């Protein structure tokens, strides 16, 4: 089967072979329940979970005690926001208009009982400023939720500077780092909560983690799932040992190749964007004026309906909207927040390369796109 070129790594990545190899024994041989510490099968599973916890903590420069395994970032996000808001009839949250829908929808749910949310607007590049956060902080602000890097545009927010600001305020700082892990350095310094999913950095689907800052004062966060006492009483459910092992292995690989991977993906992305500029009469690279993830190109093709273009080309797998909210029929809320019109949003494609995207795949994708441009603009190109 002649499969398309895969340029949709922000939606999900392939599981690394080394990650899969590490996982398989925990399906077939070491299949014990880590909560059962009365025999060797449980001991082996528990040890594997603790190793994975340490591997992920090392990547995040975190205390392993702060790592709680979940089914993914969406659960982690709901755990933090709904947990902090549980039982509140007042108080204030600060977040950003371009956050993932999991964050925005969780905040909206808390507004019904009386919590107020400030949604910070972004500039044309999708950025907020530290001053915006400073001006929005109030005495009753209990949470600041800012995504580390945007899933659609790759734009990186000034998280370190925001962390410096918020550490002197009673509010907690939460960041959805799902797209950043394994692509740029991520540290939990001055971060109270962080969410991630393994399948965004070459681990398996269905597993993720929430970081909850340990130490004193202890952060009291009600369980989202209740039942047993797993994960230090933070999250009830039998642990997905193979998935957790895979997450840990993916984290270790990410740490080992972070710098080299960044340079390689950025070089491919910059070349890709440069060639497209010469082939299409008018394109806009959304978020170009900001620091971006090295493999993400969010490009608006003026006067073109992106879905039609990619369907005609047919050999490149991409997202013409946010993969998590496709089917809504509405323009991307991220692009709308960046002041793109509905027509411009409909002409936008997210190309997201990966660690294993080859030079040949970049070349072939460019050939297909440039050939389309030649047909579309036979005089000007």
Residues 86-89: contacts with CB within 8 Å, 24+ apart?
A: 86/222, 88/113, 88/114, 88/115, 88/142, 89/113, 89/114, 89/115
Q: Which of 208, 245, 277 is nearest to 69 (CA)?
A: 208
What φ, ψ does residue 67 adopt, rounded to 5°?
-90, 125
CA dist 186 and 176 (Å) reads 11
Read off the tokens for 179: 């797209």
Read off the tokens for 183: 């692509």
Q: Which of 70, 45, 102 is nearest to 225 (CA)?
A: 70
Annotated active-site positions, please? 324
CA dist 94 and 84 (Å) reads 13
Read off the tokens for 125: 């590049």
Helix (H, G, I), strand (E, B) or coil at 165: helix
CA dist 29 and 40 (Å) reads 12
Does the CA dihedral 56-59-65-71 come out positive or negative? negative
Whether the CB-CB separation of 103 and 95 falls below 8 Å is answered with yes
CA dist 86 and 109 (Å) reads 11
Q: Which of 235, 232, 160, 243 is nearest to 208 (CA)?
A: 243
DSSP tag of 297: E
What φ, ψ does residue 293 adopt, rounded to 5°?
-60, 145
CA dist 191 and 201 (Å) reads 21
């Amino acid at each position: 089967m002649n499969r398309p070129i895969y340029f949709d790594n922000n939606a999900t990545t392939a599981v690394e072979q080394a990650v899969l190899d590490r996982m398989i024994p925990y399906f077939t041989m070491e299949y014990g329940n880590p909560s059962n510490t009365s025999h060797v099968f449980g001991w082996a599973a528990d040890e594997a979970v603790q190793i994975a916890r340490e591997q992920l903590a090392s990547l995040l420069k975190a205390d392993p005690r702060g790592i709680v395994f979940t089914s993914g970032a969406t659960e982690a996000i709901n755990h933090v926001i709904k947990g902090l808001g549980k039982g509140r009839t007042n108080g204030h949250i600060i977040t950003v208009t371009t956050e993932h829908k999991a964050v925005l929808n969780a905040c909206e749910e808390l507004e019904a009982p009386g919590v107020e949310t400030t949604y910070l607007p972004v500039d044309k590049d999708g950025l907020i400023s530290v001053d915006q956060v400073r001006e929005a902080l109030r005495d009753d602000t209990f949470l600041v939720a800012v995504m580390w890097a945007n899933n659609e545009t790759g734009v990186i927010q000034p998280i370190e500077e925001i962390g410096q600001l918020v550490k002197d305020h009673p509010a907690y700082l939460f960041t959805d780092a799902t797209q950043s892990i394994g692509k740029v350095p991520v540290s939990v310094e001055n971060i109270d909560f962080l969410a991630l999913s393994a399948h965004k950095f070459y681990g398996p689907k269905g597993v993720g983690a929430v970081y909850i800052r340990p130490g004193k004062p202890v952060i009291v966060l009600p369980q989202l799932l209740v039942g047993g006492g797993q994960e230090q009483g933070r999250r009830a459910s039998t642990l997905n040992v193979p998935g957790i092992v895979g997450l840990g292995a993916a984290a270790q690989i990410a740490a080992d190749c972070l710098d080299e991977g960044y340079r390689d993906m950025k070089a491919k992305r910059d070349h890709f964007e440069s060639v497209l500029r010469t082939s299409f009469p008018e394109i806009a690279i959304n978020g170009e004026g900001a620091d971006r993830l090295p493999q993400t190109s969010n490009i608006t093709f003026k006067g073109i309906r992106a879905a039609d273009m990619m369907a005609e080309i047919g050999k490149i797998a991409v997202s013409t909207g946010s993969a998590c909210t496709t089917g809504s029929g509405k323009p991307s809320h991220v692009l709308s927040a960046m002041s793109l019109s509905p027509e411009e949003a409909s002409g936008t494609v997210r190309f997201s390369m990966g660690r294993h995207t080859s030079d040949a795949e970049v070349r072939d994708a460019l050939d297909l796109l440039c050939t389309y441009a030649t047909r579309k603009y036979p005089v000007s190109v």
